[in-house]
């Protein structure tokens, strides 16, 4: 199972317009899960375009830690 935002190195895009004055213009809220998505990172965009991505578990979720066992906690 793929983990959120840990599927490889960042994939940088190229800017199509002029300079961005406001950093918030790089982000949009995913209509499915509501998380902010950085449009400069293709991995994030592709993840949030995948149907059913809101149900995925990440390594930070409590259920994932239970599956891994308490020995992996810091």
Say if 14 falls within a structural domain: no
Q: Confirm whether pTM is higher than 0.85.
A: no
Closest CA to 4 of 55, 50, 71, 57: 57
> Could you report the per-residue pLDDT of 10-57, keeping only the tens digit for each?
777 777 777 767 888 889 999 888 899 999 899 999 999 988 887 765
Please tell me which residue, 41 or 60, carries the higher pLDDT value.
41
Q: Are 31 and 73 in contact (CB under 8 A)?
A: no
What is the Cβ-side half-sphere exposure of residue 41, based on CA atoms within 13 angstroms? Answer: 16
Residue ranges making up the domain that contains 39: 1-6+23-60
In a domain, 12, yes or no: no
Q: CB-based burial of residue 3 (10 Å sphere; 0-12 exposed, 13-18 middle, 19+ buried)?
A: middle
Domain-located, residue 36: yes
Q: Does 5 have pLDDT greater than 70? A: no
């Amino acid at each position: 199972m793929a983990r959120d935002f840990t599927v490889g190195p960042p994939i940088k895009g190229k800017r199509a317009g002029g300079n961005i004055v406001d950093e918030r213009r790089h982000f949009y809220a995913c209509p499915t899960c509501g998380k902010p998505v950085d449009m400069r990172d293709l991995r994030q965009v592709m993840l949030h375009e995948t149907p059913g991505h809101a149900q995925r578990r990440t390594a930070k979720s409590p259920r994932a830690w239970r599956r891994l066992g308490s020995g992996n906690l810091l």
